A and B are shown apart, each in its own frame.
Chain A
Amino acid sequence: MRRILTALTIAIVFGFANAGMAKDVDSHDAKAVFVMTNAANGNEIVAY
Chain B
Amino acid sequence: MGTRLSPIRADNGMLQQSRKFYTGGRGSGGLIDPLESQGSLTLSQDRSFLFAVNAGSGDISVFRVHHSRLVLTDVAPCGGSSPNAIAQHDNLVYVLNTGGSSSVAGFRLSQNGKLMQISNSIRFLSTNTSGGASLAFSPDGRFLLVTERLTNNIDAFTVQPDGTLSPILVNSDPQPGTFAVIFTPGGAALVAETGPAGAQNGSTISSYAVLDDGTLSSITPGVPTLGAATCWNAITPDGRFVYTNNAGSATISGFAIDPNGALTPLPNTIQATNPAGSSNLDLTISSDGKFLYSLNAGLGAIGIFRINKNGSLTSVGSAGGILAHHGFNGIAAL
**Interface positions of A (Cβ within 8 A of B):** 24-25, 27-48
Main SS at interface, chain B: loop
Is B18 an interface position by the 8 A CB rule? Answer: yes
B18 touches A47 (CB 8 A): yes
Near A by CB (< 8 A), chain B positions 24-49 give 25-30, 34-35, 40-41, 43, 46-48
B327 touches A33 (CB 8 A): no
Q: List residues of chain A with CB within 8 A of the CB of B316.
A: none
A42 touches B19 (CB 8 A): no
**B302 partner, pick from A31, A39, A42, A48, beta carbons under 8 A:** A48
* Distance from A43 Cβ to chain B, minimum over Cβ atoms (Å): 4
Q: List residues of chain B with CB within 8 A of the CB of A27.
A: 66-67
A31 touches B14 (CB 8 A): yes
Q: List residues of chain A with CB within 8 A of the CB of B68.
A: 30, 32, 47-48
Total contacts A to B, CB within 8 angstroms?
A: 141
Stretch of B52-60, B126-134, B211-219, B237-245 at the chain-chain interface:
B52-60
Q: A38-B29, A43-B56 are in contact. Are A33 and B65 (CB under 8 A)?
A: no
Chain B residue, CB-CB nearest to A24: B66
Query: How many angstroms from the CA of A39 to the CA of B325 in the assembled complex?
Result: 11
How big is chain B's contact interface, by range?
A: 35 or more
* Distance from B141 Cβ to chain A, minimum over Cβ atoms (Å): 21
Point out which of B17, B55, B67, B326 has the most chain A C-beta atoms below 10 A from its C-beta: B67
B326 touches A48 (CB 8 A): no
**B328 partner, pick from A28, A37, A40, beta carbons under 8 A:** A37
Query: How many angstroms from the CA of A35 to the CA of B329 in the assembled complex?
Result: 7
Is B165 an interface position by the 8 A CB rule? Answer: no
**A42 partner, pick from B5, B26, B35, beta carbons under 8 A:** B26
23 contacts between A and B (CB under 8 A): A24-B66, A28-B48, A28-B65, A29-B288, A31-B14, A32-B333, A33-B284, A34-B50, A35-B41, A35-B328, A36-B329, A37-B327, A38-B28, A38-B29, A38-B35, A39-B326, A43-B25, A44-B23, A45-B23, A45-B52, A47-B19, A48-B17, A48-B302
Query: How many angstroms from the CA of A13 to the CA of B229 in the assembled complex?
Result: 57
Q: List residues of chain A with CB within 8 A of the CB of B43.
A: 34
Is B286 an interface position by the 8 A CB rule? Answer: yes
**A28 partner, pick from B26, B34, B47, beta carbons under 8 A:** B47
Given contacts A44-B23, A45-B70, A48-B8, 11 further A-B contacts (CB under 8 A): A29-B287, A33-B293, A33-B302, A34-B43, A34-B330, A37-B322, A38-B29, A38-B327, A40-B28, A43-B27, A47-B2
* Distance from A45 Cβ to chain B, minimum over Cβ atoms (Å): 5
Near A by CB (< 8 A), chain B positions 283-334 give 284, 286-288, 293, 295, 302, 319, 321-323, 326-334
Is B15 an interface position by the 8 A CB rule? Answer: yes
B56 touches A40 (CB 8 A): yes
Query: How many angstroms from the CA of A32 to the CA of B41 in the assembled complex?
Result: 14
Q: A33-B332, A34-B331 are in contact. Are A43 and B26 (CB under 8 A)?
A: yes
A38 touches B330 (CB 8 A): yes
Query: How many angstroms from the CA of A33 to the CA of B55 in the assembled complex?
Result: 21
Q: List residues of chain A with CB within 8 A of the CB of B18.
A: 46-48
Query: How many angstroms from the CA of A28 to the CA of B226 in the assembled complex?
Result: 36
B27 touches A47 (CB 8 A): no
Chain B residue, CB-CB nearest to A34: B332
Chain A residue, CB-CB nearest to B20: A44
Q: List residues of chain B with CB within 8 A of the CB of A24.
A: 66
Point out which of A24, A30, A40, A48 has the most chain B C-beta atoms below 10 A from its C-beta: A48
